[in-house]
Amino acid sequence: MNRTLLRTLGALLLIAAVTAALLYREHLDIAALEAWVSGAGAAAPLIFIGLYVLATVLFLPGAVLTLAGGALFGPLWGTLYNLLGATLGAALAFLIARHLAGDWVQARTKGLLARLIQGVEAEGWRFVAFTRLVPLFPFNLLNYALGLTRIRFLPYVLATLIFMLPGAVAYTYLGFAGREAIAGEGLIRNGLIALALLAAVAFLPRLVARLRQRPMLPIEGLKRRLDVADEDILVLDVRTPEDFIGEQGHIAGALNIPLESLPDRIEELGSNLERPIALVCRTDRRSAKAAALLAGRGFGQMQVVQGGMTAWLANGWPVEHRR
C-alpha cells in the first residue's frame, strides 16, 4: 500500500471520527464521566489525561474537561493533569496534520496563504506562545493548522506547555470552586480567587499585544540606517500619491503605496517577510495602521517612523518631489 493511499485513508478516518464526535457531543454527560473517572482509583489521572487527549484530537470542548479536572483533582493536581492532557492532545493533533497533509499543503499554497504560513514560521515558538496566552484562538483547530507549517515540533510542544499554564490554572480553579460551592465550603473565598484568576487571563490579550508591539523608530535612527550603504531597509511611504510628491515631498528611494491600496498591492513588498520596513506618513497615524495590516500578513520587521515626514523636514534633511 503506497504512502499517498495511507494518508488518504488516515485523513478519511480522522474526518469520520471528528464528524461522529461532533454529532454526538450533546450526549456527552460530564457528571457521568466524572463519576466514572473518580471511581477508577489510582488509574483515574491516567484515564482523565487520555480522555483529554482524545477530546482535543476530536474537537470536543476542552474547557468542560478543564473544569471537570478541577472538580475531580483539586487546583494543584487538576492543573497538572489538565495541562498534560491538553499538551499531549495538541502534540498529537500537530503530528497528525503534519504527517497527513503537511507536505501537500506546503507544495500547493501560494499568494496570501503562503505569506501567512511564512509569517507564522518566521515567528516560530513566539507565535505559538502568543496564541496559547490569548484564549481567543480556537485551540483544537489551531493545533492542526500549526501542524501544516514548518514550525519545529519540540519548540511547539514546550511553548504550548508553558504558555497554556495561566489559562489552565484559572479554569481549573474555577472547576474546583464550583465543586466547593456545591458542597457549601469556602464559597466566597474560592469564588473571589476564581474571579481574580479569570480577570488576569482576560487581561492577557492586551498585555501580550503591548509586548508584541515594536517600539517606534526615531527619525534620527532612520537617517542613520539610511546612511549605512549596506543595510537593506525599505522605506514605505503610505501617504497618498499627491502628498508623496506634494509640499512635503518624500525620502529618496521610498516606495509609495497608499494605506488604502496596501492590501491589494502587498506583492510589491517582495517575498522576504523579515526585511526591515520603515513606515512613513505625514506624522505616524497612517503608518501605525499600515504596521497592523502588515503584521496580519506575516511581516515581522516593521517599525513606524516617529513623527514621519514632519519630523524629517524639521531636521532639514533633503527630500524629493518627483514620483
- Please state at what angle helix 153-163 crosses helix 165-183, rounded to 10 degrees: 40
Instruction: Tell me how many degrees the CA angle 206-209-212 measures, rounded to the nearest 5.
Output: 150
- Helix (H/G/I), strand (E/B), else coil: 320: strand
**Average pLDDT, integer, range 275-279:** 91
Provide the pLDDT confidence category of residue 67 given band limits of 50, 70 and 90.
Answer: confident
State the chain's mean pLDDT as an integer.
82
**Average pLDDT, integer, range 113-127:** 69
Q: What is the pLDDT of residue 109?
A: 61
Cβ-defined contacts of 111-115 (< 8 Å, 24+): 112/266, 112/297, 115/266, 115/271, 115/273, 115/297, 115/298
- The answer to whether residue 308 scores a pLDDT higher than 90 is yes
Distance CA(257)–CA(13), nearest Å, equals: 48
Could you give phi then psi for residue 268, rounded to 5 degrees?
Answer: -70, -15
Least confident among 131-135, 199-203, 269-273: 199-203
Helix (H) or strand (E) holding 280: strand 277-280
- pLDDT tens digit sequence for 76-102: 999 999 999 999 999 999 999 888 876
Q: What is the pLDDT of residue 133?
A: 78
- The answer to whether residue 213 scores a pLDDT higher than 60 is no
Q: What is the pLDDT of residue 299?
A: 79
Distance CA(83)–CA(5), nearest Å, equals: 35
Provide the pLDDT confidence category of residue 25 given band limits of 50, 70 and 90.
Answer: confident
Q: What is the distance in angstroms between the CA of the first residue and the CA of the last residue of the chain?
A: 61
Q: What is the pLDDT of residue 173?
A: 82
- The answer to whether residue 112 scores a pLDDT higher than 90 is no
Q: What is the pLDDT of residue 247?
A: 92
**Average pLDDT, integer, range 290-302:** 80
**Average pLDDT, integer, range 46-69:** 90
Q: How many CB atoms lie within 10 A of CB 8?
A: 12
